[in-house]
Structure 1
């Protein structure tokens, strides 16, 4: 395993093939500061080539996932006049966040969001770029930007990808807040737990399923899913067929086939 970057706003814990990333600013309901954005980006950059990590769990400390952007950072940007020839500080602040969630979205790892308490603004966007999202009983989701006189500039495209234009319009244009049950109905999260114990059980089951799937095949499948709608279907299927042939002739394909015939778990499913 490669060494993980030092973080002040995040707690990092390696649990077998899983990296648990806990957002750790409980005094501000884990509001997302520029430093946190930079640290999350550094973590995902570092682990991208780390084959020992197959899943990343993102959750928050103190009963909240993430309450959105940090007001102090926004105030600081307001006090910085845009220098001639340089980008507006608000642009840089907003765009840095967008680059980070795009990085999380496109990570080759399986990203699992465990949401509790406030899941607002940027936190909402972070949940929407996870591969699997699980909500606890206290989770409360929202896009409050328009009620604050601003726009959900960087998260809106990911929300539309997650739940479709019609539902994204309703949430964003009315600045609504919804509970875990409705978030599950809309597809923001995949499961909603009735208790903290059930939340942990759902997480454990999800991580068990990740362990059963070959890491290389999982990463390539995730990349393929992201290509849908980005290029013409014929070209996409040609490329997918090439990748399929390479996968089935590769070490994971061989191991998976032999393990199936021998009625045993494949090597990647064995505990470390």
Structure 2
């Protein structure tokens, strides 16, 4: 099912998974202001849909995302001189707005899965690092490439550090190193590789099945709890965790315990086939057409 009306994205829902595909192949799915704005609209769907179980982010044309759009960077340079404060600097203001989008992406209430083909460069790497699970084809490339263009990965840096640790993020950022899929796994950028696009669909279906085996409300409770770990005093965090445990036990926990005792699947179990995953990244058939 196609959701909404988008110019730069393919947005489709299969069962209770929202598939969002960057769809500007002629720019290698670069992050223009229009793309980011539409991604924000897609996130709004994920933020408000209580039945949603996961969001998958990928790119059309065999390429995940080339990062920032050079044309939009030039337009920002032409917008005016820099100011002494953030609010007075149009370049800084636009850059910070992308950071707010990144914060929303990383804070989605449902699991976020990035499926990377081709390459994830610059801001595209940032999108992947905001995900809870990153899958990629073996020939995919990854680079924190901003410094090679004379700029800094300002708004994605915290998310790269959170995913890889400071040492690896420093190496990637200060060298602009382009790493292979296998190296990306070793560096912590990628969780698992697939041989090619077809195998990536199957791998994605497998992991969505693993997510579908977990209670959806429990996952929604766990994500914000994990984000707080390491950033807050442990005592108050564990107080809140105890309340989360109580809510879950009185809700889905009763079904989970019953399913365990009765040796059956829990009522929330959901699966997607590789064919459904593949269909979700293709344009929806035109009205009255036969489709592809």
1:6 deviates by: 2.4
CA–CA separation in structure 2 for the residues paired with 1:270 and 1:11: 23
Residue equivalent to 2:255 = 255
Deviations 1:204-234 (A, max 9, x none): 1011111111110001111110011121011
1:79 deviates by: 1.1
Residue equivalent to 1:207 = 208
Residue equivalent to 1:63 = 62
Equivalences for residues 106-145 of structure 1 within 5 A: 106-145=107-146
Retained in 2: the 8 A contact 1:37–1:96?
no
Residue equivalent to 1:40 = 39
Equivalences for residues 10-21 of structure 1 within 5 A: 10-21=9-20
Q: Which runs of 5+ in 2 are unaligned?
A: 273-292
Query: Is 1:50 aligned with 2:49?
Result: yes
If the length of structure 2 is used for normalisation, what is the TM-score?
0.88
1:92 deviates by: 2.4
CA–CA separation in structure 2 for the residues paired with 1:271 and 1:208: 5
Count of residues in correspondence between the two structures: 270
If the length of structure 1 is used for normalisation, what is the TM-score?
0.94
CA–CA separation in structure 1 for the residues paired with 2:270 and 2:235: 37
CA RMSD of aligned residues (A): 1.8
**Runs of 4+ deviating beyond 6 Å:** none
DSSP-derived class of the 2:94 partner: helix
1:198 deviates by: 2.0
Residue equivalent to 1:26 = 25
Residue equivalent to 2:264 = 264
Q: Which runs of 5+ in 1 are unaligned?
A: none
Residue equivalent to 1:8 = 7
Deviations 1:64-113 (A, max 9, x none): 10000001111111111159895322112211211111111010111110
Equivalences for residues 64-79 of structure 1 within 5 A: 64-79=63-78
Residue equivalent to 1:164 = 165
CA–CA separation in structure 2 for the residues paired with 1:9 and 1:87: 30
